[in-house]
Structure 1
Amino acid sequence: MKLSFKAEALSGSRTIDVEISSLVVAGWAGRDQHAIEHHIEELFAIGVPRPSSVPLYYRVAENQLTQASRIQVVGDQSSGEVETFVFRAGGELYVSIASDHTDRKLETHSVALSKQVCAKPVAAEAWLFADVAEYWDELVIRSYIQEDGERVLYQEGTLASLRPPSELISGFAGQAELPEGTGMICGTVGAKGGIRPAASFTMELFDLRSGRTLSHSYYIEILPEVA
């Protein structure tokens, strides 16, 4: 999947075209093992299978990546999750944001399939990872949903609650560097008020030190679920 990003670095900005041939979703990527286990038990109680390992790396078809402002889903039981998205281009690691949009109904049958059937929206802007690596834990991810005609804060938290990209990359690739052509979605924070579907989803990555924000919005078109 060919994506184009406006890549911003302290040295300036430029447009880069990236060919993503491998997409990985890092699940159960939190740092607090007790909190992860509690969440696993909560989901298991409603029918979601326990992960075989933590963190767990789900492979998703690269053609599910999209920078469009609309996605189509079957049925009304899917929802988004804001996550950082890292990729390597020209020997440099970049960070953007993506939504691990997931079919929650299918999730009780297979987490891997529930991720595969939904498009993964990605922002059209990215930052040079090296520019924010020193204070990575301070960066904030957040999302908003449209609910009853109102814009509602759905998720918010610092990246300190999630495993750093270097750890996730090493766990998946067995090496320090993410291979060229691989994109990784790196984990999310809890939803305020519980996981639920919405008509639209807005996601942000905020850098308090520089005041910069990466953002992307998309709306969800529901296709009929027919037998």
Structure 2
Amino acid sequence: MKLSFDVPEGNSSRTLHFEAKHLVIAGWTGRDAAAIEHHIEELSALGVPAPSAVPLFYRVGTNQLSQDDTVQVVGSETSGEAEPLLFLHAGDYFVSIGSDHTDRALEAHSVALSKQICVKPVARIAWRLADVLERWDSLVLRSWIEEDGEWRIYQEGTLAALRPPADLIARCTAADGEPQEGFAMTCGTVAAIGGIRPAARFRMELADAHSGRRISHEYRSVVLPVIA
């Protein structure tokens, strides 16, 4: 899957063309064991079984990546989840933001299938990882959902809640081999405020207070009927 990103360089930016060849969805990536247990319990309430390992690295087809503003989903039980997105291009790592949009009804049957079945919306801006790595923990991940005609905060937290990039890359390498050109990985997320729930419109951002820069993306889900 081919994606394009605007990458800031000083007072200007350049366009980076990235072809994703290997997509990993990293789950259960929190540094706080209690927070991980809370998320496991949150999903358990929805019928989702506990993970076999922590963290866990799911493989998803790269054709599911999209930078469109609209995605189509089957049924009404899907929801977005904002996550940092790392990718390897020309020997350098970059960071953007993506939504691990997931089918929550299917998740109770198979987490891997629930992730594979949904398109993963991705922003159109990326930063060089090296440019933000020293302040990685201070970057703020947020998302909003539209409910009753209003935008409501859905997720908010710093990346200090998640394992750092080097740790995740090393663990993914041990599980899945050395990352190659075209490697992309979402890095986990922070808990949903008020619990996981579906919404037709989803907005997400990654904010860097030091530079004042933000990576943001908004999309809506169009529900297709479930035909038996």
Change beyond 3 A, Cα 1:46–1:201: closer
Offset from partner CA, 1:14-64 (integer Å, 9 cap, x none):
111111011000000100112212332343344211111000000000000
Question: Is 1:195 aligned to residue 165 of structure 2?
Answer: no
Aligned to 2:51: 51
Identity %: 60
Q: Which amino acid aligns with 1:222?
A: V
1:79 touches 1:197 (CA, 8 Å); kept in 2?
A: yes
- Work out whether 1:128 is the aligned partner of 2:136: no
- 3-state SS of paired residue (1:160): helix
- TM-score under structure 2 length normalisation: 0.95
Task: Report what 2:87 is aligned to.
Answer: 87
Task: State the AA in 2 paired with 1:98.
Answer: G
Partner of 1:115: 115
AA partner of residue 188 (structure 1): T
Q: Judge conservation of contact 1:170–1:176 (CA < 8 Å) in 2.
A: no
| Aligned residue-pair number | 227
**Pairwise CA RMSD of aligned residues?**
1.6
**Counterpart residue identity of residue 159, structure 1:** L
After superposition, what is the alpha-carbon deviation per residue over 1:183-210, rounded to whole angstroms, capped at 9, x for unaligned?
0000000111111111100110000011
- Gapped regions of structure 1 (runs ≥ 5): none
The equivalent of 2:226 in structure 1 is 225
Aligned to 1:211: 212
1:178–1:133 distance in 2 versus 1, CA, 3 Å:
farther
**Quick check: 1:122–1:216 contact (8 Å CA) kept in 2?**
yes
* 2:182 match: 181
Check 1:9–1:166 CA distance in 2 against 1; reply closer, same or farther (3 A cut).
farther
The aligned counterpart of 1:25 is: 25
Gaps of at least 5 residues in structure 2 are: none
* TM-score, scaled relative to structure 1: 0.96
Query: 1:139-169 CA deviation, whole Å, 9 max, x = no partner?
Result: 0000011110001111110000001111111
**Partners of 2:7 and 2:196 in 1: how far apart?**
32
